[in-house]
Amino acid sequence: MSRPTGRPSAAAPAPRAATPATALRAPAPGWAIEADVVVVGSGVAGLTVALRCAAAGARVTVVTKARLDDGSTRWAQGGIAAALGEGDTPEQHLDDTLVAGAGLCDERAVRTLVTEGPDAVRRLIATGARFDADDDTGEILLTREGGHHRRRIAHAGGDATGAEISRALVEAVRAAGIDTVENALVLDLLKDGAGRTAGVTLHVMGEGRRDGVGAVRAGAVVLATGGMGQIFSATTNPAVSTGDGVALALRAGAEVSDLEFVQFHPTVLWLGPEAEGQQPLVSEAVRGEGAHLVDADGVRFMRGQHELAELAPRDIVAKGIMRRMRERGAEHMYLDARHFGAEMWERRFPTILAACRTHGIDPVTEPIPVAPAAHYASGGVRTDLRGRTTVPGLYACGEVACTGVHGANRLASNSLLEGLVFAERIAEDITEGIAEGVTEDITEGIAAGAEPAGAAGRTEGPDERTGPSDPHATDTPGALGSPAGAPLLASEARYEIQHIMTHGAGVLRSAESLARAADRLDRVHDDAAAQLRRDGKTAEPGVETWEATNLHLVARVLVAAALRREETRGCHWREDRPERDDAVWRRHLLVTLRPDGALDVRSTDSEAFPPPTTPRAETESRP
């Protein structure tokens, strides 16, 4: 049985260049390289795919926005969850994940995660990752985090798990001699004339053997670009997390889902009301080891709100903190772990201890001021259980993907495991296709003139995509782009977008705040489009303007979905719709980008994802 990697076979139709529609404005590529697989991102998901594909003999190129060892994975403090401990089982892990996901997990995806997870972690250890272990027995030390009923979180360096996993994978990639392109922002997907993936365009920052705008031509593209936390003013995400993968996928015609479910980590170090950008995280593992959430009077306010108190799922703890802040008129709450003592802080949480002390707070002697901040996107580019999106040859893995594992709220420390498990599945899918000989070398089948693909050639109207049979469907108005009229946003728009999203689509949302956010986001675009029509000018192509434009697109999708979902579920909290409504809303919202830049929003029939199918437009002829 063949596995569709997206590379054309000898019998494929003659390739034609895709017509760019909503593609980013950018210079034509000045250089190109060829590969079987291009992986975009260098976290646990991306590097695992690269290693497995390379081991099977595929030519792999890894493209990363910063340095190879600078992926989002290295910021992960808590650990990686898997049923490794005595008495623990995948079934128990599954139960905890389903509860945290608030009725929207795809159980098939969760079962895949928890059953394949333990062996995937063991393979990670074989790759070179060193987890904290008992000095006498050598057994991996396991801790507990929010939403878990058992100790099943493996950690490294106390609170530096992500850094250790990143170190091991980066060393393995370098030892394998895998081609890497660092300091490169991916721009758009390349497609051949049949609508199949043909590679990516990218911009390499700085000077060197490859610089400026270029292309990597490959029949399989794996998006592992991480998150989109920079759409908010305060986030735990690094500055590079600007939603580039989700934006690329949308412009390529792929479906995204569950983008309204942004997890706000409950305990982020509060640095003052004006703090912006990346904020220090105080890991859930601190609460797992016995720290208490208290208000200014020392009252443990999470007691009575959930059976697990401070160890309830993150959405519940974040809401508990926000409610207490509103009741007390406070800007933050406190995390009290003074009873740990200096030795435990220094041994178990050295990174967090150092971060707190850098900002003038000593957790050994005083409570830590904390407040929720944007942390993780539970949704993303929709995939099946092999990581395949609705665009042939385009895969997604890690935070950029929506596999159905997380539902409406991610269970703590499931993210690294998801990246690991589904990366292995993607690599298997790609390499099986190569081994079975169902595809030709990419250079034999893809036209040299392949162009960046927006949503070109899609002819479905709103009635076909969002017909009256779907009561949850909407056609978001506004022609925001065309081949001649899609502006780039100025770099300053980034801060305006962050302000709009923080105040309109943050932890607390309502129909009024979301509608206001949607209107203000439209005005940001309209002002740039008006200048383009009037003066024929748009912002100069460059990293900051591409990032701002990506943030704007992702923000629009998030707001459209959040406005449409008229309930409170998981980490989507509607003040005007405070109850969960399973009868109407136990289903997912799917969003696609039309060629004119408008959004199509429709719903699934249930909490299970239908199998991704190639959008009809991807196989239709183009002008």
Burial class (CB in 10 A: 0-12, 13-18, 19+), 98: middle
Q: Where are the alpha helices (DSSP H) in 280-313?
A: 284-288
CA Rg value for the chain: 23
Report the distance separating Cα 442 and Cα 146, nearest Å.
46
Element (H, E) at 415: helix 414-435
Report the distance separating Cα 497 and Cα 520, nearest Å.
9
Q: How far is Cα of residue 42 from the mean position of the Cα atoms in its chain?
A: 13
Report the distance separating Cα 96 and Cα 85, nearest Å.
15
AA letter at 541: P
CB 367 within 8 A of CB 336: yes
The torsion angles phi and psi of 90, rounded to 5 degrees, stand at -55, -35
The torsion angles phi and psi of 25, rounded to 5 degrees, stand at -70, 125
Q: Where are the alpha helices (DSSP H) in 221-367?
A: 244-251, 284-288, 314-328, 341-348, 350-358
Element (H, E) at 143: strand 142-143
Token pair, residue 450, equals: 């392949």
Catalytic option among 314, 458, 509, 565: 314
Other beta carbons within 10 angstroms of residue 19's beta carbon come to: 17
AA letter at 205: M
CB 84 within 8 A of CB 118: yes
Q: Is 217 designated active site?
A: no
Residues ≥6 apart with Cβ < 8 Å to 500: 517, 520, 521, 524, 555
| Cross-strand partners of 39 | 62, 222
Max intra-chain CA distance, the chain: 74
Closest among 335, 432, 381 to 223, alpha carbons compared:
381
CB 181 within 8 A of CB 66: no
Residues ≥6 apart with Cβ < 8 Å to 208: none
CA atoms within 13 A on the CB side of 296: 8
- Across 119-237, the runs of DSSP E, i.e. the strands, are 142-143, 153-154, 179-181, 184-191, 197-204, 212-217, 220-223, 234-235
The bridge status of strand 197-204 relative to strand 184-191 is antiparallel
Catalytic residues: 314
